Amino acid sequence: MGQFKFIETGIDGLLIVEPQMHCDNRGYFMETYNFNDFKAAGINEVFVQDNQSKSTKGVLRGLHFQMSHPQGKLVRVISGEVFDVAVDLRRDSSTYKKWYGVNLSDVNRKQFYIPPGFAHGFLVLSDEAEFAYKCTDFYYPDDECGVIWNDPEIGIKWPLDDISDIIFSEKDLSLKSCLKADII
């Protein structure tokens, strides 16, 4: 039997992944990825790069994607908590420009599988968060694009009640809305 529960989100291919925890008096053990279990769930991509970041409360990273080299991602939080968002940018999808968000934390241990063809971003909700993700293609800086975090056409409902200041990179602040950017 597999070590994961795959939960559909209502957007084709976008899944919440709950790993099985094995706890005892020493702590816990869990698999974070198993090719055979993921393949049985219909995820056939091969991951080629792992990334990790650390951010403070209020940091909003994204919404990023690559045009010619779309990346699938398996994301998780090692410590802290984030609100993680994926936006469907597949033009032929019935859920084109729809978004889904999920809280990922070191407590719930949930992961989020984001197929190629999605924009991705997250907002840090805890004082700090360490975020790790696997990618199905390499990072190509010249291929990176993005959509502004508050694009009115997409309408993401970010949980900002406990966030006094949102912290962005200059690059993320310069992103455009889908309508104005004409990139998707």
Active site members = 64, 133
Closest to 122 in 3D by CA, of 26, 25, 57: 57
Give the 3-state secondary structure of 83-127. EEEEEECCCCCCCCCCEEEEEEECCCCCEEEECCCEEEEEEECCC
Instruction: Give me 177's structure tokens.
Output: 């809305």
Torsion on CA atoms 132, 136, 142, 148, rounded to nearest 10: -60
Give the whole-angstrom CA distance, residue 6 versus residue 81. Answer: 20
Cα 81-89-115 angle, rounded to 5 deg: 60
Tokens 């406990």 belong to which residue? 162
Cβ pair 180, 85 in contact under 8 A: no
